Amino acid sequence: MAELKPLAGPTPVDVEVFKPDEVVAALHAVTDGDRNVAMVEACCKRVRVLCRHEDMCKVCDQAGVATVLVKAMQALPNETCVQLQALAALVNLCSGENSDYRSQAVASGVLPMIVAAMKTFTDNPEVQEMGCIALQNCCYGEDKQAVEHRKEAAAAGAISAVLTAMKQHVTIPAAQEVGVATLRLICHLVPELRQTAVDAGANPEWLKPISKVEGGIIPSFRRGFGTSRRVRAQQKAQQQAGN
């Protein structure tokens, strides 16, 4: 009987304790190599977990995780698990008040990849919600950079992607709420985008300017997947009601 040889290189279990630079190296290797779905998913998940903490967001940003997340999404565009973990990682990486991380992410090309994932998985409400929250975090802020990020998001097709998500999941209240919040933030301080959204089919009531009374800005989210529990619960309730 032939001797079983151990798999070469790290495994998904190994990735669970990787440091940011190790995750980046592993993602480069696997996306340039056999594109093993389990490994790519594990690496994206590890970035998500690391970026739950502000201090690790800085380390991950310096290690170049945004670039490899884009690479992972490009390498396996039809793998739901990879896209969902990568979106959740971006949600965490781009959360909070530090604009450097989201600026680096946007410069790395994450906006077209977020939109592409949403367009590919229109039937998946979790991908749609995670994509919306990732767009929100990339577009968060009141400065000129934030305005430019909103314009880049719109140019990448974000407005139509969000509207499609809302139409596709019209019976899920949480999906409608996150869609409206995303549209409002994309259009915030950019009047021409508000008109673009209306022309694309958005209800003008969804696009009311964000006021200081409301806190001045839609909040930035952290902890991707914790945010999607309502969508999952509402979808499950609908499925059970249909049986």
Each residue's pLDDT tens digit in the chain (243 positions)? 444 444 568 999 999 999 999 999 999 999 999 999 999 999 999 999 999 999 999 999 999 999 999 999 999 999 999 999 999 999 999 998 888 999 999 999 999 999 999 999 999 999 999 999 999 999 999 999 999 999 999 999 999 999 999 999 999 999 999 999 999 999 999 999 999 999 999 999 999 888 765 555 566 665 555 445 667 677 667 766 766
The answer to whether the CB of 168 falls within 8 A of the CB of 122 is yes
Query: DSSP readout, 31-72?
Result: HHTT--HHHHHHHHHHHHHHTTSHHHHHHHHHHTHHHHHHHH
Rounded Cα–Cα distance for residues 154 and 209 (Å) = 17
- Res 10: pLDDT: 93
The answer to whether the CB of 41 falls within 8 A of the CB of 85 is yes
Instruction: Give the CA distances from residue 126 to residues 78, 95, 105, 117, in Å, rounded to whole numbers and listed in that order.
Output: 15, 18, 21, 11
CATH superfamily label, 12-242: Leucine-rich Repeat Variant (1.25.10.10)
Instruction: Return the beta strands (E) in the chain as ranges.
Output: none
The answer to whether the CB of 167 falls within 8 A of the CB of 203 is no
pTM for the full predicted model: 0.90
The domains of the chain are located at 12-242
- Res 5: pLDDT: 40
Instruction: Give the CA distances from residue 29 to residues 22, 95, 162, in Å, rounded to whole numbers and listed in that order.
Output: 11, 27, 33
At residue 38's C-alpha, the angle toward residues 63 and 43, to 5°, is 15
> Is residue 198 exposed (0-12), middle (13-18) or buried (19+ Cβ within 10 Å)?
middle
